[in-house]
Amino acid sequence: MSALSVQTLSKTYANGFTALTGVDLEVEAGDFFALLGPNGAGKSTLIGIVTSLVRKSSGRVQIFGHDLDDEPEAARASIGVVPQEFNFNLFLPVIEVVLNQAGYFGVPRQEARSRAELLLRKLDLWERRHTEMRLLSGGMKRRLMIARALIHRPRLVILDEPTAGVDIEIRHAMWGFMREINAEGTTIILTTHYLEEAESLCRHLAIIDQGRIQARSDIATLLGELHTETFVLNLKAPA
Pairing of strands 18-28, 204-209: unpaired
Q: Which stretch binds ligand ADP (CB under 6 A): 12-20, 57-65, 74-82, 125-133?
A: 12-20
Question: 66: how many CB neighbours lie within 10 A of its CB?
Answer: 17
Whether 95 contacts 104, CB under 8 Å: no
Mask of contacts with Mg ion, 78-97, x by CB under 5 A?
------x-------------
Q: Which stretch binds ligand ADP (CB under 6 A): 14-22, 69-77, 97-105, 140-148?
A: 14-22
Cα–Cα dist 13/160, whole Å: 20
**Distance of closest approach, residue 162 Cβ to ligand ADP, in angstroms:** 13
**Distance of closest approach, residue 127 Cβ to ligand ADP, in angstroms:** 33
Whether 3 contacts 64, CB under 8 Å: yes
Q: Does 19 bind ligand ADP (CB under 6 A)?
A: yes
Q: Does 214 bind ligand ADP (CB under 6 A)?
A: no
Contacts of ligand ADP in 29-88 (CB under 6 A): 37, 39-45
Contacts of 208 (CB under 8 A, 6+ apart): 23, 35, 36, 37, 41, 42, 43, 46, 214
Q: Does 162 bind ligand ADP (CB under 6 A)?
A: no
Q: Does 115 bind ligand ADP (CB under 6 A)?
A: no
* Binder of Mg ion out of 9, 35, 37, 44 (CB under 5 A): 44
**Distance of closest approach, residue 94 Cβ to Mg ion, in angstroms:** 25
Whether 24 contacts 214, CB under 8 Å: no
